[in-house]
Amino acid sequence: MAHRLVTHELIAVPIGKREHGVYWLRLYEGHLAHVAVVTEVPGNPSFSVTNGISQVATYIQRRFGTRPDQLAVYEIWPRGAAGSDQTVVKRVLFGRSITWTDSSRADIEALVGQRLPALPEHEELYRRVREMGGGVNVEVRRPIFEAVPVSDLPPPQNLFRCQHAGRFRDIVDRMSVPSVSGIDGALEVGQVFFETLTPADIEACPRHAGQWKAIADESVRIIEALGRQDANAYVAEARRSLLPETDRNWLVSLFDDPVVVRGRSYTNGQHRACALRFSGAYQAAIVTEYESLGEESEDWTYEGDG
């Protein structure tokens, strides 16, 4: 005799002091026993179905009044989980310890006497998981490139890979503590460092070896010609540049690993900014802000548990 499907839904299971776990439960009731089929879902904010299976079993017993000795539990890792293209089905046995044995969807269907109903497609499933407090969504941001006057670029604030990094550290050591704390002090140190650099110092630094004026001019041409675009569009155009290979590589770097200036601070690219400052260029393509493109999921995609 076929079992009766009691529930076919997402469940939120308390997991100790952690956030609740979210799983998909198909629970069947037979003449003498219950069969629980628990599937891992994308966006589960707590223990995986494997690590949380004892709490899941306890939840089922309390909510549906099933007896531990009359509850058969199966767990399913669906296609898509952890990048796998296989569905993994395990029978879970509770005794003095928990053990897992290989099983299959066919085994479960033979036991309950009917085909397992399908879960929703990924987008609907993930929407429901998010409604239950799960999901890992991140903001997608796009860098905004502007043609910034090179003379406006701040001095370096933490040169550590520079040919003259030792001199930078010596200046930090010589200056009083109040003057080097915070952004004002960092800018002061950087400006003093700039004033010590001679033409010979600049020539000795490999990062200054490129034709940085030509590189800067080309970077401005690209952002003005293409308008506001994703960085990969600028990168593609930079790779088509007629600059010599070494300079072209520096040009590409201004878009795929850009110089980023927020306020008066660098968050990336201060060594190349130093080269730009001494290049004689008027402007260069610099990231000064980011715009939000909304959110996207960082979770895996459910591809079915059949």
The whole-angstrom separation of Cα 281 and Cα 149 is 8
For residue 270, pLDDT beyond 90: no
The per-residue pLDDT for range 95-146, each reduced to its tens digit, is 888 999 999 999 999 999 999 999 999 999 999 999 998 887 777 889 999 9
pLDDT value at residue 183: 58
Q: How confident is the model at residue 163 (pLDDT cuts 50, 70, 90)?
A: confident
For residue 196, pLDDT beyond 90: no
The whole-angstrom separation of Cα 149 and Cα 286 is 9
Mean pLDDT of the chain: 88
pLDDT value at residue 180: 47
The per-residue pLDDT for range 5-15, each reduced to its tens digit, is 999 999 999 98
Nearest partner of 155 among 178, 179, 188, 177, judged by Cα: 188
Average pLDDT over residues 83-94: 91
- The structure's pTM equals 0.56
Does residue 297 or residue 129 have the better pLDDT? 129
The per-residue pLDDT for range 241-252, each reduced to its tens digit, is 999 999 999 999
For residue 179, pLDDT beyond 50: no
Work out the percent of the chain whose per-residue pLDDT is above 90. Answer: 59
Q: How confident is the model at residue 224 (pLDDT cuts 50, 70, 90)?
A: very high
pLDDT value at residue 238: 97
For residue 178, pLDDT beyond 70: no
- Rounded alpha-carbon distances, angstroms, from residue 225 to 210, 221, 237: 23, 6, 10
